[in-house]
Amino acid sequence: MKINGVAIEDTFAEAFTMRVARLLITGQTLGWAKEAAVKLTGFATSVIGCKCEAGIERELPDGETPDGRPGVSVLFLTMDKASLPEQLIVRVGQTVLTCPTTACFDGLPDAPDRLPVGKALRVFGDGFQASKVIGGKRYWRIPVMEGEFLIEETFGMLKGVGGGNFLILARDADAALAAAEAAVAAMTGAPGVILPFPGGVVRSGSKVGSKRYSNMIATTNDAFDPTLKAVTQSQLPEVVNSVLEIVLDGTDGPSIEAAMRAGIRAACRPGVLTITAGNYGGKLGPHHFYLRKILG
């Protein structure tokens, strides 16, 4: 299969079930809402080192937010149920509570699993906090020096999908980067999907474990490192000199598929030779995204 002359490998991306929450952060301006969201989702690229993965899903116009102010939607994922509230409480407390003008709302109101994020953060009010029930939902008003920080008492948690991916094999680094940027642009704002890595792109794809260091849970994916072609069992064709990876997390499989479809099509441009995907032979993750099926 080829798109714009770029070969689509007959393989699949292997992804995992994760726990996901969606936060709606609003502010007096979109700029302040984004400021909080960027800080909130900082250092949240991979569960390997960050214990969570997070990113901005999309910007929300005034009419789509609970309080009628501009905002952003953020997805937050962890590998297990227990660590999601832990991460959210710490991060929202340090990045959204602290950010001028912001408020924080649940973006998964129908999810039966509830995380007591606002309930935990309320104690910052030192007894001066107050709650309000509006439309059946409880909100906490936490007094702060600026005025009040408003946060919903609980946030919904669903089973999500983490680790959707595809790799861009290119003739050189410039072509790989241009293709990756085009893919990210095509996927930005896709509903139910985030790209947790810097700019949505990963240059250091990893393999499980290490050939040399027993304490390492992940090390460089030497099979796809162009500089190691001559000394390792490389999976790269001779003409490939740079590889970049796009990693996608989301609320569900169809959302990931739709984003991958848009991203891969956008990445098929001059200088790109092959699009492939990372997997573990299908043994580790229950979600398999077959590239040719998605693009067919």
Partner 1 sequence: MSDAVTLTLATQPTHTLVADCIAADRFAGLGATAIAALPVVHGGRPATLGEFFRVRGERASVVRIEGDCTRIDGIGTGMVEGELMIDGSVGRDLGLAMSGGRIDVRGNAGANAGGAPAGAARGMTGGEIVVRGSVGDEAGARMRRGLLVVTGDGGRGMGKGMIAGTVVLFGNAGPGTGRFLKRGSIVALGEVERPATFRYACTYRPPHVALLLRYLGSRCRLDVAAAQVTGRYERYSGDLAELGKGELLRWVGA
The contact set with partner 1 (CB under 8 A) reads: 66-69, 103, 130, 132-135, 139, 141, 147-150
CB of 103 to partner 1, least distance (A): 5
In the complex with partner 1, which residue's Cβ is closer, 10 or 148?
A: 148
CA–centroid distance for 170 within its chain:
24
CB of 250 to partner 1, least distance (A): 28
The Cα 27–Cα 7 span in angstroms is 44
Joined together, the tokens standing for residue 49 give 């080192």
In the complex with partner 1, which residue's Cβ is closer, 66 or 205?
A: 66
In the complex with partner 1, which residue's Cβ is closer, 112 or 136?
A: 136
The Cα 210–Cα 219 span in angstroms is 6
CB of 132 to partner 1, least distance (A): 5
Q: Would you call 85 exposed, middle or buried from its count of C-beta atoms within 10 A (0-12, 13-18, 19+)?
A: buried
In the complex with partner 1, which residue's Cβ is closer, 76 or 139?
A: 139
In the complex with partner 1, which residue's Cβ is closer, 66 or 250?
A: 66
CB of 133 to partner 1, least distance (A): 7
Q: What string of H, E and C letters represents the secondary structure of the chain? A: CEECCEEECCCEEEEEEEEEEEEEEECCCHHHHHHHHHHHCCCCCCHHHHCCEEEEEEEECHHHCCCCCCEEEEEEEECCCCHHHHHHHHHHHHHCCCCCCCEEEECCCCCCEEECHHHHHHHHHCCCCEEEEECCEEEEEEEECCEEEEEECCEEEEEEEEEEEEEEEECCHHHHHHHHHHHHHHHCCCCCEECCCHHHEECCCEEECCCCCCCCCEEECHHHCHHHCCCCCCCCCCCCCEEEEEEEEECCHHHHHHHHHHHHHHHCCCCEEEEECCCCCCCCCCEEEEHHHHHC
In the complex with partner 1, which residue's Cβ is closer, 130 or 185?
A: 130
CB of 94 to partner 1, least distance (A): 20
CB of 99 to partner 1, least distance (A): 13
CB of 134 to partner 1, least distance (A): 5
CB of 122 to partner 1, least distance (A): 13
In the complex with partner 1, which residue's Cβ is closer, 11 or 95?
A: 95
In the complex with partner 1, which residue's Cβ is closer, 141 or 287?
A: 141
